[in-house]
Amino acid sequence: MTVAEIVFYLIAAVAIIGGIGVVTVPNVIHAAMFLVLSLLATAGFYILLSSEFLALVQILVYGGGVAVIILFGLMLTRGRELPLASSGAQWPAGLLASGVLLVGLLTAVLDSEWPRQTGEVALISMQNLAGALFRDWLLPFEIASLVLTVALIGAIVISRQEEGEA
Amino acid sequence: METAAEQIPLESFLFVSAILFSTGVFGVLSRRNAVQIIMSVELMLNAVAVNFVAFAAYTDGELFRGLIFAVFVIIIAAAEVGLALGLVLGVFRRRATANVDEVSQLKW
C-alpha cells in the first residue's frame, strides 16, 4: 500500500463519515459541522488529483462562505427551541430509494471499463488554468457571474422584510 | 515522480462519489428541516464535482475541461445556497416553520 493510497482512504473515510453525519445526527448545528467536514475532505481529493486551485476554491467557498450562510440560515429559522432534525415519516422509503440508487451506481462503476491513467498528466500551472478559464471558457464564466449576481439580488429581494410586515 | 492519480484507480473516486451522492439523496428524501435538505443537496453537488475532477485527471490529458466544470458546479452551488436560504427565510417569516411538511397549502 502506497502513501497515496493510505491518504486516499483516510480522506474518503472522513468525507463519508461527514456525509453520513449530515443526514443522521439529530442536532442541525452538528449536521452543518459534519457538512463542512465532508466538503473540506473533498478539497483533499482535489489535491490528490493535482488540482490545487480547485482545492483552494473549495476551501474558500465552502469552508468560508457556504458554512457561514448555512449557519445564518439555521440561526434565523430557529423557532422557540433549537430545531431537532427529525426525520419525516418517509425515511424508510428514502433509505430504500437511496440504497437502490447506490447499488445501481456501484454496479455501473464495476461493470464499466475505465481508462487507466494516461501518464501524460503534468501538474497544471495556474497560468494554463487561467488561460483556459479566461480565453476558452470566457463566455460561460461571464454567464456564471451574471447567474451569481441575479441569484444574490433575488435572495435579498425575497428575504427582505417588507413594508408593514411585522 | 508518480502522481497520486497513477496509484489510485479511477474506480475508487467513483465509489466514494457514489456513496456521497446516495447519502445526499437519502438526506433530501428523509429530512424535514428545509436547511438540512439544502445541506444534503450540497453533498450531492459536491459528489458530482469530485466525479468531474476525477474523470478530468484520468481521461483528459489537458485536464482542464473537468476542472472548469467543477468550478462552475461550485459557482452554481453557492448561488443555490444563497437563493434557497432566502426562500427558507421568506417561508419562515410567513409560516413560522422551516419544516417542509408543514408548508402544505398547495398540496391537494
Q: What's the CATH code of the domain at B48?
A: 1.10.287.3510
Q: For chain B, give the mean pLDDT.
A: 84
Separation between Cα atoms, residue A53 and residue B68, nearest integer Å: 11
Chosen from A2, A54, A56, A146 to mutate, greatest number of chain B CBs within 10 A: A54
CATH 1.20.120.1200 fits A1-85, yes or no: yes
CB contact under 8 A, A105 and B59: no
Chain B touched by A158 (CB under 8 Å):
yes
- Residue appearing with cell numbers 483533499: A44
- Residue appearing with cell numbers 459541522: A33
| Series of mean pLDDT values for 10-residue runs along chain A (166 residues) | 87 94 86 92 89 89 87 76 60 89 92 69 72 87 92 86 61
Residue B107 resides in a domain: no
- Residue appearing with cell numbers 431537532: A84
Separation between Cα atoms, residue A159 and residue A34, nearest integer Å: 26
Residue B1 resides in a domain: no
Point out the residue among B20, B70, B89 whose CB comes nearest to the CB of A54. Answer: B70
- Residue appearing with cell numbers 428575504: A159
Residue B67 resides in a domain: yes
Set of cell numbers at residue B58: 484520468
Separation between Cα atoms, residue A117 and residue A109, nearest integer Å: 16
Shortest CA gap A88–chain B (Å) = 5
Residue B108 resides in a domain: no
pLDDT tens readout for residues B57-98: 887 656 578 888 888 999 999 899 989 888 888 888 887 777
Chosen from A146, A159, A162 to mutate, greatest number of chain B CBs within 10 A: A159
Apex B31 CA angle, B39 and B38, nearest 5: 20
Separation between Cα atoms, residue A94 and residue B78, nearest integer Å: 26
CB contact under 8 A, B59 and A115: yes
Shortest CA gap B107–chain A (Å) = 16
Residue B50 resides in a domain: yes
Separation between Cα atoms, residue B13 and residue B10, nearest integer Å: 6
Interface ipTM = 0.88
Within the 106-145 window of chain A, which residues sit less than 8 Å (CB to CB) from chain B?
Answer: 106, 109-110, 114-121, 123-124, 128-129, 132-133, 136-137, 140, 144
Residue B22 resides in a domain: yes
Domain with B27 in it: 9-102
CB contact under 8 A, B82 and A155: yes
How many domains does the structure of chain B reveal? 1
pTM: 0.87
Which pLDDT belongs to residue B1?
45
